[in-house]
Structure 1
């Protein structure tokens, strides 16, 4: 029965066993009953031990009374008196056998009778044994040491056990009756004191719930100060609180009803507004959709325009640079060579500008794709510096490179994009530095997670104003409007560096002070594949490094040599005319200027020496031989080239080599097919290949190439992509369908320089890709890759 179903009628039908008074009385009676049982058991136990002792005491008294007469009877051997004595003992109800036995064991008299039978005898026998036997020796006072015989008595314990069981039954029955009487008394008392007041309280509470107005619940008489009175007081307080809450709830419901009515009015108005807004939103969405389609169309048109612009501009530039390159290989006077060189350099600047614009456009369009291939970052930086040093003509600017010895030998990343970043930062530093130095340093930071490389380009140029530090990374923006007039440039280089660095997951920062110089720091997360190794150089003796004051190259070179575990010492000097005196003893010399080499040649001619200077300062072979030089090395020097030179120092001095010797070409037996529709580009490529020693056959389009290949043989095909009649893509696919030509190397020579164009060439079956305009060195490297058995131009 749940608490929610109570009413006055239900309260009158509560079972007796469910009433609180009965439960309380039951608990009290059960406690009293168990206590009475325990007390009765204790009393019965005490009575048992007393009864057991009484049996032995009673028989002991009988034996003590009969012992004297029995002793005299045994002494006189009087059988008649003996029978009378044992018959007298048998008169006692518990004794069932009595006899007197002489000292020979012969009974003088013996009487007995059967034991009593009863259904409760087994209880008595369990408690007191079935029978008990007692024997007492017979003596006379005047002959105490002589044994006359024994008095033997056997006892039936049931007489005493029956009395004990009757007393135990009465004891336990009285305890039960007492518990029952106590339960009735407690039930009446608990009903009067507890149940009746609670029933009265419940009825009063039900009566109050039937009225709407709050009334106080009356307290049952006589219970004002006990727990029931406290319960009534708590109920009255709760009823008062409920009444207050109910009134507040009614008022809140009334206000809520008013708010709902107002809300319905507001919702109706807002619904009308939303309908109007939805209509406007649908119009806006349609406009956005139209704008998106227009933007996609413009993006496709922009991509097509970039591709066409790349092709249309690269094609004439390729012809221009190619023809200038071929012309520079011919004999001419110095004035003509200088003019052609200026034109050739201008074409390369134009090509670099075009590449920057295309790369920046690809980045903004989200089409820039990065490679993840192993490369040597130290070698990449050294090669870039070597190339830069060949094209810079600033005598007062020192170009230096410092590579962390812990830099891994192989890193994983995109070497092309890393080279672009370094080249642009170097070009920017060289452009704005008139004197001092430009230092490129590489630092390996393995403790960062993930590990990264820090590339720093430090210069002593004009610096950047603090307010212009962020604007320099915007396309077509420079720190000062006067910069373009003084130094030139488009402002694309740093913007491209920032975009490429962000694409590779790195950071680009700049610190600068006007008229003091700038430091550009690039941090790239590159994964190490092969750790750095220390080369072994079997070179004994001290190496003396000459270093003109205020220059960086000597200190960097000394640290590198000491890392290679070589004994290196610096000899600083103010200018070539003032040789430091006295010279430290050394086994080898590294000299940093031709003028100092001339001064040192007058002092000593036996010490092995290397000349380390920029390309523009290197001497011809005859002059170098007169100065006793083993080798001339370009600065900044690469680690690999310096290592080879040091290993050759112990050998006899060879004819001094420089980096400006003319190129020679060995004859080749390879036959190449050139597929090119542009006559100028055909002349350029054919001229380059002929000078390399190859046999070249040129055709104008893909259909002609396909027909020629079905009749003739060649070792490699150079394929243009955009041609009339049949383009290079279709021609390559058809060549791959011919079983005899499926392994023929095909290299794409195209002015389409976007990443999608490279992928399109690979899908058509071409083996490699070279974008126009290309340098002879790049073409030569590709031919050596796909024709490895053929000789190539050597320097």
Structure 2
């Protein structure tokens, strides 16, 4: 067995010993060199001072006698010293009697010497006589080169370091030999003897200890190895006996295994039957889930089709001349139908959550306008004594990124819930943003929710108390759906409420900013507001009027007006107008509850007066202010805001097989100013398109002869109408229906039952208002 030199213990020990000795020797040598450096540095000054003392008296007499020749000889004698490179003798008037200069010495130690001792040193000796020390005879100036001293020091240091290194090398070889003889050689002998033996052999002899090492570490190692050999021999004997015992049990084990195998085969057979039953149950569950989806789709279609006819006809009837009692009865029927639609939508959305089929859009939309539109739509559900206000942060982004449909559901459910349980006071919708987080708060002064009931109101079909359903109605699905929508959008819904003091629901949603807030063109004028400080109108006007550049002053209803010459008066108190009108001739903007407008004779008596229903949107407020402030007082007439859709001049092809739905859609489109042509199926629609030019096609999906999907594919395939917009009208509100319509080539999707406002919005999107459209259409028809 051969061990490399660098792997031997003797080498390692010698290396460590010499390394420690070399470090210590080097440190001692450096210490000695440091002491020598300090001594040499001091010796330079001492030698030069001695030389100056020797030359003091002769130099003093020479300076006194002003003898230039002797001065020259003296300085030449001084310059002969290797360290002096220049000398000058000055008289008592500091005139040079003589000066001598020599070149400095050069050598390989020059740079290091200069760094240690400096390149040169200057010495000045004042000359005087010993009996007249106060009288100066002149000055002896010497320039000393430190290199001779530095070279002498560096040569000694070099010898010191070299001798220390040689001593370390010699010590290394001596220690290496000693360690090899005393440690490595006996250890190698023991290792070779152990390696050549066979520990498993019972006749293995003991390892012999090298002579002279019986009591040291090597002897202990040998004794431990011998003990291990004995233990291994005993272990091998024990294992042989154990193997014999295991052989005896082997036959018994084989018998047991055969019995267990038969039992496992029986268990496996039972497990196989169980797996087959589970697979059959899973297949049945999948079939039931598919049947459930198909049932929901069919039920949605079957319920929405008559609902569309019902709500459409009621809406058309409400637009016709009716007496007050008939109008109230039909309004109740129309609102009840809308409740049925909302309930159907909630049930379908919950089924989408359960099936994991809910998909979210990520598009830019105006959240502030969406909230204002939703509040305006639900304002008819507010009690007359409830003030509904949309309070939107003026710095809120113009557009955010997200799913507008789902956000509208959240706002609609929270606002409907607040309006339902509030009979007096305020209902506020507050909107603000912080970074990418949008905060939608719906606060009310309603009945409130008990602390113990707040934990269960998010469960499906559950309300705070059993009597709530009897007194206020509802299914308990709204908050459940809202909470689920917030969770799917990675937001959260929180509640803060106290019984008798109202509730505050807060939805925090991650809706990143797409377009920052855009401030409208500033207005100018002086406006006074007569409203309570606690009203939502005061809070809204206080936020926006100063921002739009208006001079704004608020008065309470009981305050006496100090400013009787404003350019505009805004108030939500109709009763105080008759007391204000004689003193104020400016136009008046009255903000009142939905359906609570003043009659025509009172409007004429208070003219100029304009009425707006709350909640008042930002855009409506700005346009009204712009209109009223730019017009003269005499030009403003008593007007009443009526929420009627815009009139569109468009020719529309309605493809619908249901006669009731034909009447509903045609009636709504006619009231929007559209020309409507009806087709009963897809084949008839193709014929109509060949005969006339249309601006928009409203396509039902399920029809006889040719359904809407095939008709749309035929229209796109023919290529004659590449830019013709086609909008699906279907009673199927399941999520896959929208994708199916788009795959067929349709541009948009509208689920039944639909409202006239939704139909008007579609026309606004897909029928551009171009002046030349009618001319082009007539030319194409000809």
Shorter-chain TM-score tier: 0.5 to 0.7
Please say if 1:748 is aligned against 2:728.
Answer: yes
Tell me how far 1:374 sits from its aligned partner: 0.7
Tell me how far 1:380 sits from its aligned partner: 0.9
Partner of 1:547: 531
Q: Is 1:325–1:344's contact at 8 Å kept on the other side of the alignment?
A: yes
| Cα displacement string for residues 587-610 of structure 1 (whole angstroms, at most 9, x for unaligned residues) | 6432122112233224x2234543
Question: Within 1, Cα distance between the matches of 2:410 and 2:181?
Answer: 101
SS in 2 for 1:594: coil
Partner of 1:493: 478
Please say if 1:234 is aligned against 2:216.
Answer: no
Tell me how far 1:483 sits from its aligned partner: 1.0
Greater Rg by CA? 1
Question: Within 1, Cα distance between the matches of 2:713 and 2:663?
Answer: 26
Partner of 1:416: 405
Compared CA separation, residues 692 and 566, structure 1 to 2 (3 A):
closer
**Given the alignment, which residue of 603, 613, 617 partners 2:596?**
617
Partner of 2:493: 508
Compared CA separation, residues 374 and 624, structure 1 to 2 (3 A):
same
Compared CA separation, residues 752 and 224, structure 1 to 2 (3 A):
closer
Question: Within 2, Cα distance between the matches of 1:257 and 1:596?
Answer: 115
Partner of 2:639: 657
| Cα displacement string for residues 190-237 of structure 1 (whole angstroms, at most 9, x for unaligned residues) | 999997999799879989979859998676666656xxx442133213
Stretches of structure 2 that go unaligned for 5 or more consecutive residues are: 15-176, 774-782
**Given the alignment, which residue of 735, 740, 743 partners 1:763?**
743
Question: Within 2, Cα distance between the matches of 1:211 and 1:784?
Answer: 102
Question: Within 2, Cα distance between the matches of 1:405 and 1:234?
Answer: 89
SS in 2 for 1:730: helix
Compared CA separation, residues 357 and 241, structure 1 to 2 (3 A):
same
Provide the TM-score with structure 1 as the length reference.
Answer: 0.67
**Given the alignment, which residue of 653, 656, 661 partners 1:673?**
653
Partner of 1:65: none
Partner of 2:301: 311
Question: Within 2, Cα distance between the matches of 1:677 and 1:420?
Answer: 31
Matches within 5 A, 1:541-690: 541=526, 543-548=527-532, 550-564=534-548, 566-573=550-557, 578-580=558-560, 588-602=568-582, 604-620=583-599, 622-648=601-627, 649-653=629-633, 654-660=636-642, 668=649, 670-690=650-670
SS in 1 for 2:652: strand
Q: Is 1:216–1:236's contact at 8 Å kept on the other side of the alignment?
A: no
SS in 2 for 1:511: strand
Tell me how far 1:497 sits from its aligned partner: 0.7
Question: Within 2, Cα distance between the matches of 1:498 and 1:294?
Answer: 32
Matches within 5 A, 1:227-306: 229-240=216-227, 243-244=230-231, 247=234, 275-306=265-296
**Given the alignment, which residue of 450, 455, 458 partners 1:465?**
450
Tell me how far 1:492 sits from its aligned partner: 1.2
Compared CA separation, residues 2 and 275, structure 1 to 2 (3 A):
farther
SS in 1 for 2:504: strand
Compared CA separation, residues 238 and 625, structure 1 to 2 (3 A):
farther
Tell me how far 1:650 sits from its aligned partner: 4.1
Please say if 1:425 is aligned against 2:409.
Answer: no
Q: Is 1:507–1:522's contact at 8 Å kept on the other side of the alignment?
A: yes
Q: Is 1:208–1:217's contact at 8 Å kept on the other side of the alignment?
A: no
Tell me how far 1:336 sits from its aligned partner: 1.6
SS in 2 for 1:371: coil
| Cα displacement string for residues 401-460 of structure 1 (whole angstroms, at most 9, x for unaligned residues) | 2212332111011111101110011111111122222221112121xxxx2111111122
Please say if 1:696 is aligned against 2:654.
Answer: no
Q: Is 1:747–1:768's contact at 8 Å kept on the other side of the alignment?
A: yes
Compared CA separation, residues 195 and 631, structure 1 to 2 (3 A):
closer
Question: Within 2, Cα distance between the matches of 1:339 and 1:197?
Answer: 114
Stretches of structure 1 that go unaligned for 5 or more consecutive residues are: 4-17, 25-186
Compared CA separation, residues 210 and 383, structure 1 to 2 (3 A):
closer
Compared CA separation, residues 232 and 399, structure 1 to 2 (3 A):
same
Question: Within 1, Cα distance between the matches of 2:745 and 2:190?
Answer: 105
Please say if 1:366 is aligned against 2:356.
Answer: yes
Question: Within 1, Cα distance between the matches of 2:358 and 2:183?
Answer: 95
Partner of 1:179: none
Out of 489-498 and 685-694, give the one that drifted further.
685-694
SS in 1 for 2:288: helix
| Cα displacement string for residues 730-772 of structure 1 (whole angstroms, at most 9, x for unaligned residues) | 2222233334344443332221222222222222223332222
Partner of 2:704: 724
Question: Within 2, Cα distance between the matches of 1:440 and 1:658?
Answer: 25
Compared CA separation, residues 789 and 641, structure 1 to 2 (3 A):
closer
SS in 1 for 2:575: helix
Matches within 5 A, 1:53-452: 212=202, 229-240=216-227, 243-244=230-231, 247=234, 275-389=265-379, 391-446=380-435, 451-452=436-437
Measured on the aligned residues, the alpha-carbon RMSD in Å equals 4.0
**Given the alignment, which residue of 448, 456, 475 partners 2:441?**
456
Compared CA separation, residues 192 and 400, structure 1 to 2 (3 A):
closer
Tell me how far 1:339 sits from its aligned partner: 1.5
Q: Is 2:197–2:204's contact at 8 Å kept on the other side of the alignment?
A: no
